[in-house]
Amino acid sequence: MSAGERALILRAESVSASYNKSRVINEVSFELRYGDKLALLGRNGVGKTTLLCCIMGIVKLDGGVMQFFNERRTRFSPYEISTLGVAYVPQGREIFADFTVRENLEFGGITLNKFDAGTRFEEVLEYFPALRDHLPRKGGVLSGGQQQQLAIARALMSRPRLLLLDEPTEGIQPNIVAEIAEILNRVHREMHLPMILVEQNLKFAFRVANRYMVLQKGALAASGDGAELPQEVVDRYLKV
């Protein structure tokens, strides 16, 4: 199937957004199609997380249009985005620390009926077998890597059609980082789930992503396909 024939998941058309009247996202346009795993890259403070929040409806647009599947609007609420099938794993994970691992996962599948939620629970644990041993434990006592796996697993419980991940490797030891990359690739392969990930770890990003997009001062600076970045892009937009 050619790129032109792949189903459209998300289209951003000249999207702009501000914080306190300061422009953070400046007329960014891109498409995400079925089969894509997009790495959203750039130095700190260039608007990567804000763009994810725009996609989720958490930050309102100053201008431009978002299209999810067949829905095209200038404004969506986070609830509407969620019901369209978009799941978000925020930076810092934000699991429910005082609830058990089982309860965290059950919250993720709260919109499913009892049978589907039970089936999905078992499906998700197939990807995260390490969580099975911790089901009765509170989320807050898990290691950082286990909490990140729980956050991703909780997002998958909703049967999303698009997964957004913000800095999924932050503060996680290297062996768990490699494990998460393998899990995400397996999820993409077996669940056919498109993804957008914000990531500073380029090695991890390109173990997962098959496309990249680089932001600079809130604007699209570079984009392309492939498993690595051209060195000139790294030197110009990513080196500190």
pTM: 0.92
1: pLDDT confidence band, cut at 50, 70 and 90? very low
Looking at the predicted structure, is the pLDDT value of residue 2 above 60? no
What domains appear along the chain, each with residue ranges and CATH number? 1-85+162-169+193-240 (3.40.50.300)
Residue given tokens 């201008």 in the structure block: 63
CA 202 from centroid of its chain's CA atoms: 16
CA 141 from centroid of its chain's CA atoms: 24
pLDDT digits (tens, 9 = 90+) for 158-182: 999 999 999 999 989 999 999 999 9
Six token digits for residue 212? 């990249």
Q: How many residues does the chain have?
A: 240
Q: Which runs of E-coded beta strand occur in the chain?
A: 8-19, 22-33, 37-41, 63-68, 71-73, 86-89, 162-166, 195-198, 211-216, 219-225
* pLDDT for position 5: 57
Q: Are 159 and 120 in contact (CB under 8 A)?
A: yes
* pLDDT for position 227: 74
Mean pLDDT across the chain, nearest whole number?
93
